[in-house]
Amino acid sequence: MIEYFPMNESHVSSVAQLEKLCFSDPWSERSIASELANPLSCWLVAMDGDQLAGYVGSQTVLGESDMMNIAVSPDYRRRGIAQSLVEALVASLKALDSHCLTLEVRDSNEPAIALYEKLGFSQVGLRKGYYRNPKEDARILRKEWTL
Ligand SMILES: CC(C)(COP(=O)(O)OP(=O)(O)OC[C@H]1O[C@@H](n2cnc3c(N)ncnc32)[C@H](O)[C@@H]1OP(=O)(O)O)[C@@H](O)C(=O)NCCC(=O)NCCS
């Protein structure tokens, strides 16, 4: 059974490993650990017992939240875990009086774009050449809700 928790120190090294596996420009373990002490940050993990299945991270400033990253381990994909992580994140952000969640996604990342469309995100912009390794445009997507 998959369970969802706020990230704590015991999760950091597995989150960093999954981050490295999934992204060409990953957050370091130290940067992820520093999110635990950041009052603006909200990171959640999906756990299968002791095994990390996925995570999502966000920061909120003045009622507006940004999703920093989301990833699900290849062994756990297409089971609704990313969807549950985003839904749990939105519930947590509402409790923090946030009213929207914005993110960047690679223009070619079809699985992630399909996920965000399913969850009601809309494109609000495009950042030309935003990503490196390889260089690529970022779609800016946002979901807003009433508190
Ligand atoms: C994108 C990612 C987080 C999706 O995780 P997931 O747990 O497999 O996604 P879910 O099972 O919750 O999928 C929910 C919906 O997203 C869409 N989706 C997810 N993966 C998809 C895929 N490979 N192809 C098409 N649609 C997909 C579908 O609409 C799916 O609903 P459905 O299964 O009812 O059709 C995962 O593929 C991943 O970690 N990718 C690498 C990291 C990454 O790209 N992160 C996004 C950075 S912006």
Ligand 1 centroid vs 108 CA: distance in angstroms?
A: 13
Q: Report d(CA 84, CA 19) in Å as an integer.
A: 18
* pLDDT tens digits, one per residue of 51-84: 999 999 999 999 999 999 999 999 999 999 999 9
User: Regarding the domain with residue range 2-144, which homologous superfamily does it belong to in the CATH classification?
Assistant: Gcn5-related N-acetyltransferase (GNAT) (3.40.630.30)
Q: Which residues contact 92 (CB under 8 A, 6 or more apart)?
A: 6, 42, 44
Ligand 1 atom, smallest distance to 67 CA: 48
Domain layout of the chain by residue ranges: 2-144
Ligand 1 centroid vs 46 CA: distance in angstroms?
A: 14
Place of tokens 């950042």: 127
User: What is the pLDDT, as a whole number, of residue 147?
Assistant: 67
Predicted TM-score (pTM) of the model is 0.98
Q: Which residues contact 125 (CB under 8 A, 6 or more apart)?
A: 139, 140
Nearest C-alpha neighbor of 5 from the set 89, 68, 76: 89
The single residue of 4, 19, 55, 116 carrying the catalytic annotation is: 116
Ligand 1 is surrounded, with C-beta below 6 A, by 22, 70-72, 77-83, 105, 109-112, 114-115, 118
User: What is the pLDDT, as a whole number, of residue 118?
Assistant: 98
CB neighbour burial string for 49-79, b if at least 16 within 10 angstroms, e if fewer: eeebbbbbbbbbeeeebbbbbbbbbeebeee
The protein residue whose alpha carbon is closest to atom 12 in ligand 1 is 80
pLDDT surpassing 90 at residue 132: yes
Q: Which two tokens stand for residue 90?
A: 């939105």
